[in-house]
Amino acid sequence: MTELGELAGRLRRFAEVRDWEQFHTPKNLAMALAGEVGELLAELQWLTPEESATIMDDPQAAARLRSEIADVMIYLTRLADTLGVDLAEAAHAKLDESERRYTVESYRGSARKAPPLA
């Protein structure tokens, strides 16, 4: 069992035993995911990019960040599971595309276009 499969399984059982699957439609889970991302943004919104790069040096901020990122991961995993999407496989497939599209030769250090990952 992969670590992503294990996490998805734990979340599935968590919902099942509480009879919460009725609430876990893709639409609802996507909203919950967005809500958690909003909380993550709130931790970073007034920092400069440079301050954000060293935020984990502050133990209290680090704990909050870790907790918000965990929430995002939890809802993303649950959403992907309800849709039957394999997160690692989907991410690698997208990266295959991005590597073809954003060739190193053309995009190295380039700021002429918003540098994407995906």
Helices (H), the chain: 3-17, 26-44, 49-53, 59-83, 87-101, 104-107
Name which of residues 48 to 77 contact its own copies (CB under 8 A).
Answer: 48-50, 52-53, 55-56, 65-67, 69-77
14 is a contact residue toward its own copies (CB under 8 A): yes
Q: Look-up: residue for tokens 């931790």?
A: 43
Q: Among residues 1, 9, 42, 112, which is the contact residue for its own copies, using CB under 8 A?
A: 42
17 is a contact residue toward its own copies (CB under 8 A): yes
Q: Among residues 9, 58, 95, 101, which is the contact residue for its own copies, using CB under 8 A?
A: 95
81 is a contact residue toward its own copies (CB under 8 A): no
Number of residues binding to its own copies, judged by CB under 8 A: 84
Q: Look-up: residue for tokens 């039957």?
A: 84
- Rounded-to-integer distance, Cα 10 and Cα 3, Å: 11
The SS3 call for residue 58 is coil
